[in-house]
Amino acid sequence: MMPRRGGLEVWRHRRLRSDATTRIVGVAPADDNPSVAAKQQGGERRVQPEGKRRLVDVSQFKAAMRRLVAGVCLVTTETADGARHGLAATAVTSVTAEPPTLLCCVNRAASAALHIREAGCFAVNVLPVEAGELSQRFSGVGPSSERFSTGSWIRLATGAPILTEAMVAFDCRITQQMEVGSHFVFLGLIEAVNLASEPGAPLLYGMGSYGIFQPAGAS
């Protein structure tokens, strides 16, 4: 049974050992998760013992992920005392349309991480290309209050800060969370969205710098 914290399901990777067989609990089936080196045998998935699997090292992983270009978002929240917290992030993706759910990953060392867990909600504000300076502000180490000194902020359903200049903002209630290595993974049920009337071009990040989306074939 999955432990619960604050009414939320907390998933962790656990291994239950029985003889030479390792069963993976809390991860996707092998067919859906290529990172699990498993094969069907006798109705059970068998995986190599931890010490025998070869993994890329941290530097290789980071070098590879720098080439995965992604949109830049501000993940924001507001706690019960009215304090606002947030950070810049690119690890955001959709999960399912029914019910409308997205996922974001937040480093546990980030100043906003525990506040997001405490609040039980967050907003994902997708930045336009003009918001590069705001993204850098949210990537810094200054006080959270200073991060919100720029831009126009409102509230929708959950109370999480919504940036009106964002291309789109997703207002989410946390339904599940996981601890995976150095990060929290939050699944958020989308309770409201705020769409810009003229969204413009998205701010992108890849190879260690910001960029802009250009349609194929455009001059």
Q: Which helix (H) or strand (E) segment is 61 a member of?
A: helix 58-65
> pTM of the full predicted structure?
0.74
Q: What is the pLDDT of residue 45?
A: 58
Q: What is the pLDDT of residue 43?
A: 54
Residue 180 has pLDDT above 60, yes or no: yes
pLDDT average, residue stretch 159-175: 97
Q: Which of 101, 169, 115 is nearest to 144 (CA)?
A: 115
For tokens 């992108």, what's the residue?
A: 204
Within the chain, which residue ranges are assigned CATH 2.30.110.10?
A: 63-208
Q: What is the pLDDT of residue 49?
A: 62
**Residue 145 φ then ψ, to 5°:** -60, -35
Least confident of 36-40, 95-99, 103-107, 137-141: 36-40
pLDDT average, residue stretch 178-190: 96
Residue type, 142: G
pLDDT, tens digit, for every residue of 71-116?
999 999 999 999 999 999 999 999 999 999 999 999 999 999 999 9
Return the structure tokens found at 43.
Answer: 């109705």
At the top level of CATH, the class of 63-208 is mainly beta
Q: Are the beta carbons of 10 and 179 closer than 8 angstroms?
A: yes
Q: Are the beta carbons of 186 and 104 closer than 8 angstroms?
A: yes
Q: Which of 86, 93, 121 is nearest to 7 (CA)?
A: 121
pLDDT average, residue stretch 143-172: 94
Residue 3 has pLDDT above 50, yes or no: no
